Amino acid sequence: MAVRPSAEEIIARLGLEPLIPEGGWFRRLYYKKGEVSLIYYLLSGRDFSEFHVLPYPEQYLFLMGDPVELFTGDPSEGLWQRTVLGGDVMKGEELSFLVEGNRIQGSRLVPGGSWALLSTMMNPPFEPEIYRTCGAQELMENFPRSGDLINSLTK
C-alpha cells in the first residue's frame, strides 16, 4: 500500500514556488506568448487562492489530493457558485471546471483537507499584469450577505 506524500514532499518533488500575491504554490509547465499557459497549482493547510479576476477563461483540472472549493461570482448577479474539484465524481466532485473570463474566483481546501494538486490552463496565457485582486470592501458591496466567505478568501 502506497503512503500518501505530504504537501512538502509534493512541493519539493515538483519544484513548486509560492504564488504571490494569490496564495498557494505553483510551477509553470508551459507558456507560449499570445497562445497558452499551463501551471501546477497546490493548496495546502490554510493556503487559499484569494478572490481575484482574470480577463480570460481559466480551465482547472484536479490532479490529486483532497477536494477544493472553488467559488465564482458575477457582481451583477450578487451570487456565488460553489464547485467542488476532486476525484470522487460519484459524490458530485468535478475533475475539471472552466472559470469564464471576468468572473471573480477564489478557492480553498474543503474543511478537513490537507493538500490538493491542480493544474490550470489559460488561452490567451496568464501574464502577471492581467491579475486583479478583489478586496473585501469591493466584494461586500456586491455580495452583502457573504461576509464570512469574503473574509475567508481575502487578505
Residue 7 has what DSSP assignment? H
- 123-148 pLDDT tens trace: 999 999 999 999 999 999 999 999 99
Nearest one of 54, 56, 40, 46 to 23, comparing CA atoms: 46
Alpha helices by DSSP H, listed for the chain, are 7-14, 136-142, 147-152
pTM of the model: 0.94
- 23-78 pLDDT tens trace: 999 999 999 999 999 999 999 999 999 999 999 999 999 999 999 999 999 988 88
What nine digits make up the cell of 119?
493544474
- For 36, the 3-state DSSP assignment is strand
Q: Give the pLDDT of residue 77.
A: 87
Q: Give the pLDDT of residue 76.
A: 87
| Fold observed for domain 7-152 | Jelly Rolls (2.60.120)
- 84-124 pLDDT tens trace: 999 999 999 999 999 999 999 999 999 999 999 999 999 99
Q: Give the pLDDT of residue 3.
A: 86
Q: What are the Cα distances from residue 48, in Å, to 31, 71, 124, 147, 153?
A: 24, 11, 24, 16, 7
Q: Give the pLDDT of residue 2.
A: 76
Domain residue spans of the chain: 7-152
DSSP string, 82-105: EEEESS-GGGT-BSEEEEPTT-EE
Distance CA 104, CA 53 (A): 5
Q: Give the pLDDT of residue 24.
A: 97
Number of alpha carbons in the 13 Å side-chain half-sphere of residue 73: 22
- 10-23 pLDDT tens trace: 999 999 999 999 99
